[in-house]
Chains A and B, each alone.
Chain A
């Protein structure tokens, strides 16, 4: 089975712009979660989508949004980028069952200048 793929792998944006990141989960997985990783805050949960519905949301401003398509692929959007949004954004897929075992993609490294 192919693993979780994320595109693009690297991205450089300017403050004030917006960005869209993409995640393709493992085939058959219906849950996609997004995490932000920074040196200062560590790994923080952004949101989770299951069957095209946002099921859970972390403590991030409304500039961070996401969606999931019928094929379970997910996108994450960040509007009005700030310098502090520079981070590694990780996507994780799972079957969505309570055991919570999640498989991570390689991440998208976003740099905001």
Chain B
């Protein structure tokens, strides 16, 4: 079945430390890939996207993500986390053949320790 998996429900990281959030997808073809961030009580903000080409993509707020076709993964990284990065992060895929819609992972909540 087609799915998007974020294995980590919660991650706690110290301010200034690096962060990596995992995302795996299960689709027959390579979908378009996205990372969104949601602060409490807010909508979703697009951090970055991958359509094709260079497998390392840069996004806003200092985030980057790497697409690995062999592992069906699209992991999100940030070298140095700031307290304002505490939020919930969602990986999403878009595949027109799968219904012209975004399918989201379950989300990873990031807590930042001072």
The interface on chain B, measured as residues whose beta carbon lies within 8 A of the other chain's beta carbons, has a size of 23
Kindly state the separation between the CA atoms of A102 and B51 in the bound complex, as whole angstroms: 14
Q: How large is the interface on A (under 10, 10 to 19, 20 to 34, 35 or more residues)?
A: 20 to 34
How many Å lie between the Cα of A55 and that of B44 in the bound state? Answer: 22
What residues of chain A lie closer than 8 Å to B51, measured between beta carbons?
Answer: 99
**Contact at B101–A107, with CB atoms within 8 Å?**
no
Q: Which residues of chain A are within 8 angstroms of B17 by Cβ–Cβ distance? A: none
Check if B99 sits within 8 Å of A56, measured CB to CB. yes
Interface string of A43-65 (1 = CB under 8 A from B): 10100100000011010000000
Main secondary structure of the interface of A (DSSP, over half): strand
Q: Can you sample 20 A-B contacts with CB below 8 Å?
A: A33-B101, A33-B102, A42-B106, A43-B90, A43-B102, A43-B104, A43-B107, A45-B101, A55-B100, A56-B100, A90-B43, A90-B44, A99-B49, A99-B94, A101-B49, A102-B46, A103-B46, A104-B43, A104-B44, A105-B43
Given pairs A43-B102, A55-B100, A99-B51, 8 additional interface contacts (CB within 8 A): A4-B43, A42-B105, A56-B100, A56-B101, A100-B102, A101-B49, A102-B46, A107-B43
Residues of A within 8 A of B (CB): 4, 33, 35, 42-43, 45, 48, 55-56, 58, 90, 92, 98-107, 109
